[in-house]
Amino acid sequence: MAGIGFELKKLFSKKGIILKVRANIYASLVVAGPMIMGVLLLLGAQLIARFGEASLHQQDLVAIIITYSLLFSLLLSSIFLFVLSRFIADMLYMDAVERILPSMYGALSLLLTVGSVSWAIFLYFCRIDFIYSMLCFILFCEGLVVWIQINYIAAVKEYRSIVAGFFFGLFTGLLIAFLLTYLKYDVVASVLFGVCIAYGVIIIVFTDLLHRFFPMGSGSPLKFLQWIDEYPQLPFVGFFSTLALFAHLMIMWSSPLSQQVEGLFYQAPPHDIAALVAFLTILITSVNFVTSVEVNFYPTYRRYFSLLNGDGSLSNIEKAYEGMMATLKQELFYLAIQQALVTLFAIVMISEVLVYIGLGFTSNMVGMFRVLCVGYALFAIGNSIMLFLLYFANNSDALLATLALLVCNIVGTWVSLSFPAEFYGFGFVFASAIFYLVALQRLYAYTKRLDYFILTKQPVFFIQKQGWFTRLVEKLDN
């Protein structure tokens, strides 16, 4: 995040409305690019499938294969996401950039080994057409690569190349899918092949960028595993937060709204579509967290810790602390206000528009959309607060907040299934509200005694943790 912030600060410091708009566009595409591309690919795939006169079953099969592949690849990769983020940040700080690129290939080796075997077993029991299974398998593996590369691409300053890579991959994939469909090849296979090409192009572009930015490196590619011994909460924070974000969707696949598409592929179209559109309303918070909070908060954060670690006087440290906390409160307030306005607009205006644009929204779907908009808004602000907990290295409280979100979402959604469909989504709202309150309370309690946690709780003597991963890495390095 800090790597993105440095470059965005340069962009936003330039004068002129056009340059400000350009900076916002770059930030939006870099931060939310994977999500935006996934949605555009899904919509484009559906349009091409309709163009190819695909049946409703075939259209559902295309959508569900893309959704399952990307969702479960994200879920698996989330185990390493925060660990790798911390590892990359530490290596940049220590000027040990030769360690960065090998860690990406080490993480991918582990994830692809575990993920490919698990996904192959899942597809075997799905019993869908072999060619569909192969394309689904490829897309799942590509998803693992892209989600991991996003962590590393954040440190690369080539914004134009990153944005161009997203759009070139999207355009190439949809064009190939359209041509194959036009030539009367199997419509499902044609569309899925095009989506695989799209992600393949992005992987090639990102790999080229990363190899131009980072050296080939040396040492064990599994060095990053040592950071699990140092920060054992981070894998669980990443996995719990990601699983919690999608748990209500998975539970709804066994609800009265559930439909079996084929094999083990299930969907709940009324809830899934409403959730997808509602999720898009929080992209503004994801972008603003970087463009506003990172750009404005980081300088005060850096000043405080520079004085604390250097030769700053007590009065200067206290002033820096007050300035940092004032900026933190201000930026969280702005984030909450912006998200509240977007959510209110979505509930009042967008929900009415959805009925008339031909997406098949019924009155129940509109109701679920409005409820889920509130849930995702609370989640977005709670997630921003949780990221601040990680910023202050308060990993234990971040884990507590994400665990509360996961448990409350699972329990709340299951309970909501015993009520009429009008109540679907309230479980996620309840969970997001708890997530927000827990994260806010822990951030307030921690920052109120920040000097105590930073100074007096540190060990007198540094002791290297010798966990299982550390011993493994040392052996591999030797």
Question: pLDDT tens, 109-136?
Answer: 999 999 999 999 999 998 889 999 999 9
Least confident of 63-72, 291-300, 428-437: 291-300
Least confident of 87-91, 156-160, 189-193: 156-160
The pLDDT mean for the chain works out to 85
What percentage of the chain carries pLDDT values higher than 90?
A: 41
Closest-CA residue to 229 (of 472, 397, 476, 475):
472
318's tokens: 């206290």
Closest-CA residue to 31 (of 308, 284, 396):
284
Question: What's the whole-number mean pLDDT along residues 273-285?
Answer: 85
Cα 464 to chain centroid distance, Å, stands at 31
Closest-CA residue to 140 (of 206, 73, 63):
73
Q: What's the confidence (pLDDT) of residue 305? A: 85
pLDDT band at 165 (very low <50, low <70, confident <90, very high): confident
Q: What's the confidence (pLDDT) of residue 130? A: 93
Residue 84 burial (C-beta neighbours within 10 Å; 0-12, 13-18, 19+):
buried
CB 141 within 8 A of CB 186: no
Query: What three-state secondary structure class fits 183?
Result: coil
Least confident of 197-211, 287-301, 361-375: 287-301
Question: What's the whole-number mean pLDDT along residues 345-357?
Answer: 78
Burial 267-306 (b: 16+ CB within 10 A, else e): bbbbbbbbbbbbbbbbbbbbbbbbbbbbbbbbebbebbee
Closest-CA residue to 72 (of 121, 25, 109, 24):
121
Domains of the chain, by residue range, sit at 2-230, 273-456
Question: What's the whole-number mean pLDDT along residues 76-95?
Answer: 90
Place of tokens 């999608």: 246
Q: What's the confidence (pLDDT) of residue 152? A: 85
